[in-house]
Amino acid sequence: MMAETVAIIDYGSGNLHSAHSAFVKSAERLDHSPRIVVTDDPEIVRRADRLVLPGVGAYGDCRAGLFAVPGLVEALTENARQKANPFLGICVGMQLLATKGIEKGTHQGLGWIPGTVVPLTPADPALKIPHMGWNEVAVNEKARIYGPFSDGAGTVLAGHAYFVHSYHFVADNPAHVIATTDYGGPVTAAVLDGNIAGTQFHPEKSQHYGLDLIENFLKWTP
């Protein structure tokens, strides 16, 4: 039996070394040994069993980088939307799931989870932008039974994770928001729709909490 392949998408806008290291470390905990690859090859992406889309930087730049790789968005869409394989977006990789992002202009996203990425506007003016550092992640009831925040046996991940962002995802349907954090008001920390999940925080930088979430993602069967 061939090892499962987890493809971390390289489009010039991600923490690829950190993400790869964290996924390899989490994969070592499993009974099976998935193959973790960093790639921009549409054929590898099309055939992968799980997909990870990292993202660091401005929404428009990340969007441009992703769409600039010939065939990559089509391969992602076929794998995640048509085959319904597990997908995880991280930081701007999560934000790209939205309909559009408003950062230095308006940029169309993938549109897989309807919503808009807008500037953070904390109610407390003393809170700095970007939101940077450790903050609590509170999961809701949907996450307790489904998705990477659950291990499938009733144990739910709730704790502290590492955030770095100036914009946040406002989902059209609140049911798609499965976790929030508080930064001068509620801020989307994670989204979920079927096999499509995303985290605003960086699991690869969130120590044991992040490794646990990645492990859950590697075991997740939507």
With CA atoms as reference, report the closest residue to 166 among 125, 117, 112: 117
Phi-psi region of 62 (alpha: psi -120 to 50; beta: other; left: phi over 0): alpha
- Which one of 62, 91, 131, 168 is the catalytic residue? 91
**Among residues 20, 103, 165, 204, which one is catalytic?**
204
Residue 62 catalytic?
A: no
Q: Name the catalytic one among 20, 107, 131, 202.
A: 202
Beta pairing, strands 186-193 & 177-182:
antiparallel
Contacts for 120 with CB less than 8 Å, ≥ 6 apart: 129, 130, 131, 165, 166, 167, 168, 183, 187
* Residue 76 and residue 41 in contact, taking contact as beta carbons nearer than 8 Å: no
- Active-site residue 91, yes or no? yes
Computed on alpha carbons and rounded to an integer, the radius of gyration of the chain in Å comes to 16
3-state secondary structure of 83: coil
Nearest-CA neighbor of 54 among 17, 105, 104, 19? 19
> What H or E segment, with its residue span, contains residue 71?
none
Q: Is 202 a catalytic residue?
A: yes
- Catalytic site residues? 91, 202, 204
